[in-house]
Amino acid sequence: MAESRKTFDLRRQTGFTTIAIFSFVMLYLPIILMVVFSFNSGLALTSWSGFSLTWYVSAWHNELVQEATLRSMLIAAAATIISTTVAVLAALPMTRGKNFRGRTTIFALINQPLMVPEIVTAVALLVVFAAIKVQTGYSGIGYLILAHSAFCIPFAFMPVRARLQGMDATLEQAAADLYARPWRSFRYITFPLLWPGILAGAMLAFVTSLDDVVITEFVKSAGQDTLPTYMLGQMRRNLTPEINAISTILLVISVIMVVAFFFASREKR
């Protein structure tokens, strides 16, 4: 008679429920409090004075917030397009191409921003861009777009590469057997199957660029505050619930993006 084997179930381990509940409370309680106090009518961040939309109205009519938001969106959108395009072009030969010498080195270089502290990347970009500014005299937001693009490449690359590794190459091989050109095969077969990975990479790149502070602080010139750097500056001067309102709006945008990604990437029957 075969002995019955008990499968390991983490949920039945002693203390698992307590640890899980504690982790969720520590993770989401500060976010809930931030959202609640964004509707506070008073100036205090921890003392409830009544429900009000004053700080949302204040943030909406704040010209500095408007400029910083538009600048953040522009930089994030441009960085997302550039980094996602580079990520796809890098992932295709790294995953679908033949093995070649230096492949591991290239993979490490692509993911370098993930392994090196962000402050190191920021200082390196500051040195390079400072030399370029001296030679060209240009000090626009192009530096921020390039810096964010370089930093976001690995965030876009990993989902695309993971999607390619999980895809069955049978359809692509069948297209090649039927004399389809590489571009036609990519357009009608690879790209539709790869689309969820591209969308996931683009979303990660956009969110990463949108909330970046360290690299932006080092690279930006005067008058080029993004929304995160503006919020950081306000916290150093005069902290009001307006910061909570702005953070709540960013939270809502992030949730909308996640929900949109879920519906866009789910499998169709």
Lowest model confidence (mean pLDDT) among 94-108, 121-135, 202-216, 225-239:
94-108
Choose among 113, 142, 143, 118: nearest CA to 130. Answer: 143
Q: Is the pLDDT of residue 264 over 70?
A: no
Per-domain residue ranges of the chain: 70-225
pLDDT at position 8, please? 65
Of residues 181 and 83, which shows the higher confidence score? 83
DSSP string covering 51-109, please?
B--HHHHHHHH-HHHHHHHHHHHHHHHHHHHHHHHHHHHHHHHHHTSPP-TTHHHHHHH
Q: Is the pLDDT of residue 22 over 80?
A: yes
Count of other CB atoms within 10 angstroms of residue 111: 16
Q: Is the pLDDT of residue 69 over 80?
A: yes
Mean pLDDT across the stretch 55-80? 91
Mean pLDDT across the stretch 39-59? 84
Choose among 175, 205, 237: nearest CA to 77. Answer: 205
Q: Which fold has domain 70-225?
A: MetI-like fold (1.10.3720)
Backbone angles phi, psi at 10, to 5 degrees: -60, -30
Q: CA angle at residue 261 from 256 to 266, to 5 degrees?
A: 135
pLDDT at position 269, please? 42
pTM, full prediction: 0.82
User: And the tokens for 29?
Assistant: 């309680």
pLDDT at position 5, please? 56
CB-count burial class (<10 Å; 0-12, 13-18, 19+) for 86 = middle
Choose among 193, 208, 197: nearest CA to 157. Answer: 197
Q: How many residues would you count in the chain? A: 269
pLDDT at position 27, please? 87
Lowest model confidence (mean pLDDT) among 66-75, 168-177, 225-234, 243-252:
168-177
CA distance 79 to 148: 6
Mean pLDDT across the stretch 211-224? 88
Residue 16: DSSP 8-state: H
